Structure 1
Amino acid sequence: MTELELSVQVAAPPATIFKAMTDWERQGEWVFGTRVRVVAGDGESVGSEIDAVTFGVSDRMRITRWDPPHAVEVEHLGKVVRGTGVFAVKGSRFVWTERLDVPFFYPLVKPLFVLMLRRSLQRFARFAEEYR
């Protein structure tokens, strides 16, 4: 199991940050190479499922905690990506935490993965600050 936590300062109220981070269908606007859709439930409650396809790899997730405007926790259900993820709002910061059972090749892709997440968080800050 590996843990990764990244955050970014956002010039927006916590409720706006939360709404922006949980607008699943628009997540592709700030996460590189990703398309997301709600596949079960309403996407705004425990038990709902979303599928994020990043560079062709599906990452199906089930919402296990829904606590607006503070946090959403998901369980990764995929064959490649397994573990938990948390999207949290702490004041004016968006914090993305992943606790993953990683595949054997993770050490090879980790630098690119972390870079992609850092850039995505920078894009998220702009996305949330302009979110409507």
Structure 2
Amino acid sequence: MSRVAVHAAVDVEATAERVWEVLVDWSRHGEWVPFTHAEGGAAEGASVKAWTGVGTVGFLDTMVISDWEPPTRVAVRHTGRLVRGEGRFDLLDLPGGRCRVTWSELVDLPLGPAGRAGWVAVGPFTRLMLRTALRRLAKLFE
């Protein structure tokens, strides 16, 4: 099985503590993650479910929180049929009451060579989605 890494970062006009409150309020993910609705817990070992798609066309991303360090890091292990791997958000306070949010994903590609070939098409979309989501998150604090 192959793994690929993808990440994006944004500086936000708010402290890590303030951003954390929005970031881990899974029910608010639809405000900033395109085409996504989520729900879940707030502690290591808790489950998170996210539906990404439009109407009935999409996929369910099931996760387990593997690291919970308020207000600086939340990490998940993707456990779904389609999405497997690890993801995390890191928050770093910056001068002036700002913070940097980094979203990192380490995705397990299925199907050997076919999965790697599929990443050529899906990878750019994944990168775009992460960047777009983080820009939308930052706008919530402007």
Task: Give me the TM-score of the superposition, normalised by structure 2.
Answer: 0.84
Could you say what the CA RMSD is over the residues aligned between the two structures, in angstroms? 1.1
Give yes or no for contact 2:7–2:127 (8 Å, CA) kept in 1. Answer: no
Long gaps (5+) in structure 1: none
User: What whole-Å deviation, never above 9, does each CA across 1:63-113 have from its counterpart, x for those lacking one?
Assistant: 011100110010000111111111110121011010110241222111122
User: What whole-Å deviation, never above 9, does each CA across 1:28-59 have from its counterpart, x for those lacking one?
Assistant: 11000001012xxxx11111101111112110
1:58-69 to structure 2, matched below 5 A, reads: 58-69=60-71
Matches of 1:47 and 1:7, distance apart in 2: 25
**1:111 — aligned with what?**
124
Spell out structure 1 runs of 4+ moving beyond 4 A.
Answer: none
Higher strand share: 2
User: Structure 1 vs Structure 2: percent identity of aligned residues?
Assistant: 37
- Aligned-partner SS, 1:28: helix
Structure with bigger gyration radius:
2
Give yes or no for contact 2:89–2:102 (8 Å, CA) kept in 1. Answer: yes
Long gaps (5+) in structure 2: 94-98
